[in-house]
């Protein structure tokens, strides 16, 4: 679920002044909802005094760990309840039980019912590495015509598929988001409008810079930065369990655009991979060659 203010704050903070035109649509112009931009999948709550609210963050992490894969009616109920507490949109993952029966028709039926009954816009979510199921392109094209479905987060990494979706939905009010920073540049090149990237929870400033370079046509610099982001992105996927990714983001005390300075007391740098017995490696020392400013938009504290 995407909380109120996350969409609007990130769009205003990260993409102000940048122009984009995909499939005949100018940035945000006439859309049901503009979902372009970079989004960290785990946000950091703050107190009224702009301090990281660690109590609320711990509470949120426990809730994230309890979210199940739900049937259609349960998905509708959860979407409605999230809308009631202020979510602006819902990212709805593909159901993955009885995968052999999850035909295009079954998935279209599922998402159509959810979108029909959801009081907030729906974003499709295809993540085959975790569900074993890829939302078929023909189903995406059909669902793109639904008035309450505004886009898809595609984490499969198949850039050809993403480009085909952009092409086939070009006449619809429908947007494509990359599901990883590992193929973000390629996604922009084929018409994606942004990404929901776990790496943005740790290297937010660099991921947002990659977005800016792509949107302003600085492809050579974008390519260099994309190459430098691949190693830390791969390290997060290979060496960190999902829970550790969330805790890494929490310990690094990330900032949202409304708070331009970090927590006053620099937190310790976590290690990755200790859950599997591998030697722990400080994330800031993975050899990616990236700079780690001590302040700025969504930048983690990292000792020299």
Task: Annotate the chain with DSSP letters as a single string.
Answer: -EETTHHHHHHHHHHTT---EETTEETTTT-S----EEE-SS---B-TTS-B-HHHHHHHHHHHTTPPP--HHHHHHHHHHHHHTTEEEEEEEPP-TTGGG--HHHHHHHHHHHHHH-SS-EEEEE-HHHHS----HHHHHHHTTSTTEEEEEE-S--HHHHHHHHHHTTTSS-EEEES-GGGHHHHHHTT--EEE-GGGGTSHHHHHHHHHHHHTT-HHHHHHHHHHHHHHHHHHHHH--HHHHHHHHHHTT---TT--S--SSPPPPPEESGGGTPPPEEGGGSS------SSSTTPPP---
**What share of the chain has pLDDT > 70, as a percent?**
66
- Mean pLDDT across the chain, nearest whole number? 76
Is this prediction's pTM over 0.85? no
Distance between first and last Cα of the chain = 36
Choose the most confident range, by mean pLDDT, from 28-32, 134-138, 197-201: 134-138
Which band of pLDDT confidence, cut at 50, 70 and 90, is reported for residue 52? confident
* Architecture of the domain made up of 2-285: Alpha-Beta Barrel (3.20)
Q: Poorest-confidence range of 16-30, 138-152, 169-183, 245-259?
A: 245-259
Q: Poorest-confidence range of 47-61, 81-95, 103-117, 276-290?
A: 276-290
Average pLDDT over residues 283-300: 35
CB neighbourhood size of 212 (10 A) = 17
pLDDT of residue 97: 78
CB 90 within 8 A of CB 1: yes
List the catalytic residues: 153
Which sequence spans correspond to the domains of the chain? 2-285
**pLDDT higher than 70, residue 143:** yes
């Amino acid at each position: 679920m995407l909380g109120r203010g996350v969409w609007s704050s990130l769009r205003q903070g990260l993409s102000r002044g940048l122009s984009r035109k995909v499939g005949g649509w100018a940035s945000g112009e006439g859309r049901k909802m503009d979902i372009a931009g970079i989004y960290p999948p785990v946000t950091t709550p703050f107190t009224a005094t702009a301090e990281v609210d660690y109590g609320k963050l711990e509470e949120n992490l426990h809730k994230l760990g309890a979210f199940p894969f739900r049937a259609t009616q349960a998905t509708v109920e959860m979407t409605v309840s999230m809308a009631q507490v202020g979510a602006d949109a819902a990212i709805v993952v593909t159901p993955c039980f009885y995968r052999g029966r999850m035909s295009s028709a079954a998935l279209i039926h599922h998402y159509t019912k959810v979108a029909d009954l959801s009081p907030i816009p729906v974003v499709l979510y295809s993540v085959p590495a975790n569900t074993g199921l890829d939302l078929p392109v023909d189903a995406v094209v059909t669902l793109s015509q639904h008035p309450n479905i505004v886009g898809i987060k595609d984490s499969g990494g198949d850039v050809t598929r993403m480009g085909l979706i952009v092409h086939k939905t070009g006449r619809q009010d429908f947007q494509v988001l990359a599901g990883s920073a590992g193929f973000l540049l390629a996604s922009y090149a084929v018409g994606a409008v942004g990404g929901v990237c776990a790496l943005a929870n740790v290297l937010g400033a660099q991921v947002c810079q990659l977005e800016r370079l792509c949107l302003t046509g600085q492809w050579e610099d974008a390519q260099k930065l994309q190459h430098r982001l691949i190693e830390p992105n791969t390290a997060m996927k290979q060496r960190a369990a999902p829970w550790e990714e969330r805790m890494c983001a929490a310990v690094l005390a990330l900032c949202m655009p409304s708070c331009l300075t970090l927590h006053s007391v620099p937190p310790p740098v976590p290690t990755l991979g200790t859950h599997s017995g591998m030697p722990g490696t400080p994330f800031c020392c993975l050899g990616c060659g990236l700079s780690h400013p001590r302040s700025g938009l969504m930048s983690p504290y990292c000792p020299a």
